[in-house]
A and B are shown apart, each in its own frame.
Chain A
């Protein structure tokens, strides 16, 4: 390390020595990182900790906060609207895991396999499936408001032309959540399919060829070779689908605002309502932490289950 400075030609200005710490580390990388950590601490860690503190206080309206211990958390289990929101969000999460994720896998397999024959088509489909994910939620809401319109909507027109019953999709308690799930599938199918595509591309061809040589059919190869090798990707898709499902806000808020009669109320919408419409900040903080706890616990269960399955 020292020899480099000795090689400096005579007459040249001396090269600036990089600053080094006792452990041989330079200061520069830390200085470059410092702004991020400062911003992270002030705008993320501090609010998260402040909200945690707030969740133990009665803090509503204008005036002081009063420490109430776990009262806000015990109120959760007695609050019928919270339980309704929890039920709706769980149904949505289940749909994400058991409908959206398998569909995404199916799409990925279709793009990867013989269904889409050429590389150009494969690229085309990758782009097409990714587009909904980068489309603004407001645009998505506007579009699906038209599609679900009771009188002149595309969906009802299609259903009636097939002789099937029509619905007032966004205003009918029985089908509003289903409509939200359909929109979510449309929005997130592509990005999940891309995750699976990435996983499929990492499966060595020779393994599949070996299975074919051994006489495995396409279906057998899929079940016995592809799926087991895709397990890490499946786990990733399922865990992130679960976590994000419990935070779902924009789509139901823009399409139904949680209605009619709370049939599409999600935990995040309820949090917003309690915080800003009811102005009950302490309880809103407790709802926020309940969402975090639910998501962490479910993700942990999935990870543990996957680990046990691996053994």
Chain B
């Protein structure tokens, strides 16, 4: 009964099996584009539980239940890097991508490299709804060559926030009209242990916000690098000077895993080592959650003028929902995206869950978004953000946007904010790097 097997036979059989398995594997890798969950289900990838809940809330609406009540939506939440890496890999391999994925603003640029975009063009589907959103926050970051590939929900209007009680104690007049007044106030309230601002030396956000307020950006509307123009240099030099000349700012505590507002940063605000900041609503959101004892002491206002054009706000951050070309149910996937982002029901649910101020205009007529905010001294933040939203500067996407911002930190922000180089030299040197990047 036993079959004789020599070493040669084994190699032959083993080799055949290997070839078979390899062929299967290769076929799997090179097969036709397939993804998503199938005919009556959707797969949704997210990197944040709050954002996944935002999408889940859309499934509870009557509109979704009427149209796709029997459809199952599988949510998978990965860590930030892992989700974007997996999504890239799945889209390149042509297999295994979800129907819908959250794509963070700085990672979108990777997906528009090359001639074929892996996301469904949503321009026609959005149609007239585009008039109901603040485009720089809702669609610009996921727009490439005039076509829209994703929809974001967060209105990232940047504002200046500060401790009103400390300003009052110091006899400082508020609100601030211009940055000179802010610097003067900073000199009043700053001590050996306390500074007005915590400015970042490992992240580009501070520079990015102030350069937008000054009237410029990293790229123009044709994708050309303009990050070394006069307004950009002014903005970066001003940040430097707040730390090393007027000395009203310190360097923000940061770690590699979170170079923006890690626990150390939040603890420094709780300890009153810093008493003001500028940023979008998602940035300010750490104050009511992690600095609870300062409730009622903070005030929000537009960004002061005095730098370049002096625009009253800037646009920073955001995550959009994109439908992959591998989806077998793009219509249902779009319904999910639309209900979540472009209906009052969807965005108000998210506001109530995460205090995410929406980029959908009609929502600001809802009383929930007009309520006074106790933490910020009873101010109506919804009203402030929506009044600033029309002034949001446009977001000009580029296939090297993510790479360029990393180079910006490496070659300009860190050297300048660590007082090793001046802003003009650093930003001019960056031009060569950015222009040498593969489109």
A: which residues have CB within 8 A of B?
16-23, 25-27, 30, 34, 37-38, 41-42, 46, 60-63, 141, 145, 149-151, 168, 170-173, 253-257, 259-262, 273, 276-281
Contact = CB atoms under 8 A, between A and B. Distances in A.
B438 A60 contact: yes
B414 A259 contact: yes
Given A253-B256, A276-B88, A30 B403 contact: no
B25 A260 contact: no
Interface stretch (B115-123, B156-164, B171-179, B372-380): B115-123
Interface string B245-278: 0000001011111010000100010000000000
B28 to A, nearest CB: 10
Given A22-B4, A279-B113, A256 B410 contact: no
Given A23-B7, A38-B21, A253-B256, A60 B202 contact: no
A74 to B, nearest CB: 16
Contact of B3 (A27, A38, A278): A27
Contact of B5 (A21, A63, A256, A273): A21
Does more than half of chain A's interface fall in helix, strand or loop, or is it mixed? loop
Contacts of B9: 21
B6 A19 contact: no
Interface residues of B, number: 53
Contacts of A276: 81, 84-85, 88, 110
B111 interface: yes
Contacts, number: 131
Contacts of B411: 261
Listed from nearest, the 10 A-B pairs whose CB atoms lie closest are: A61-B114, A61-B113, A19-B2, A63-B114, A62-B114, A257-B256, A27-B5, A21-B6, A21-B5, A62-B116
Interface stretch (B10-18, B207-215, B340-348): B10-18
A60 B4 contact: no
Nearest to B107: A277
Contacts of B110: 276-279
21 contacts: A16-B2, A18-B2, A19-B3, A20-B4, A21-B9, A23-B6, A27-B3, A41-B18, A41-B21, A62-B92, A62-B118, A151-B264, A171-B201, A171-B251, A173-B418, A254-B256, A256-B256, A259-B256, A260-B418, A276-B81, A278-B403
A261 B415 contact: yes
Contacts of A173: 414, 418
B113 A42 contact: no
Interface in B284-304: none
B145 to A, nearest CB: 14
Interface centre among A17, A19, A22, A259, by most chain B C-beta atoms within 10 angstroms, is: A259
Contact of A27 (B2, B251, B256, B268): B2
A163 B118 CA distance: 58
Contacts of A150: 253
Contact of A62 (B14, B113, B255, B259): B113
B314 interface: no
A62 B91 contact: yes
B220 interface: no
Contacts of B14: 30, 34, 37-38
B38 to A, nearest CB: 24
A18 to B, nearest CB: 7
A42 B21 contact: yes
Contacts of B88: 276, 279
B381 to A, nearest CB: 31
Contacts of B85: 276
Contacts of B223: none
B22 A170 contact: no
Interface in B88-107: 88, 91-92
A46 B22 contact: yes
A184 to B, nearest CB: 16
Contacts of B330: none
Nearest to A255: B256
Contact of B113 (A25, A60, A261): A60
A169 to B, nearest CB: 12
Contact of A25 (B5, B21, B202): B5
A262 to B, nearest CB: 6
Contacts of A63: 114-116
A23 B9 CA distance: 11
B67 interface: no
Interface of B: 1-7, 9-10, 14, 17-18, 21-22, 25, 81, 84-85, 88, 91-92, 110-118, 201-202, 251, 253-257, 259, 264, 268, 399, 402-403, 406, 409-411, 414-415, 418, 437-438
Nearest to A278: B403
Given A17-B1, A60-B438, A22 B6 contact: yes
Nearest to A253: B256
A43 B414 CA distance: 40
A25 B257 contact: no
Most central of A17, A21, A253 by chain B CB within 10 Å: A21
Contacts of B410: 259-262
Most buried by B among A30, A46, A151, A260: A260
Interface centre among A27, A170, A262 (most CB of B within 10 A): A27
A244 to B, nearest CB: 21
A21 B13 CA distance: 14
Contacts of A279: 88, 110, 113
A41 to B, nearest CB: 5
Contacts of B437: 278
Contacts of B402: 277
Contacts of B111: 62
A21 B114 contact: no
A149 B264 contact: yes
A20 B6 CA distance: 8
Contact of A277 (B91, B406, B418): B406
A260 B253 contact: no
A27 to B, nearest CB: 4
A21 B201 contact: no
A246 B305 CA distance: 50
Interface centre among B2, B117, B118, B403 (most CB of A within 10 A): B2
Contact of B2 (A17, A151, A170, A261): A17
A17 B4 CA distance: 11
Nearest to B412: A261
Given A60-B113, A171-B254, A261-B410, A19 B4 contact: yes
B370 to A, nearest CB: 40
Contacts of B438: 60, 278, 280
B164 to A, nearest CB: 26
Given A62-B111, A173-B414, 15 more contacts: A19-B5, A21-B4, A30-B5, A34-B14, A37-B14, A37-B18, A38-B18, A46-B25, A61-B399, A62-B91, A62-B115, A63-B116, A145-B255, A257-B256, A278-B437
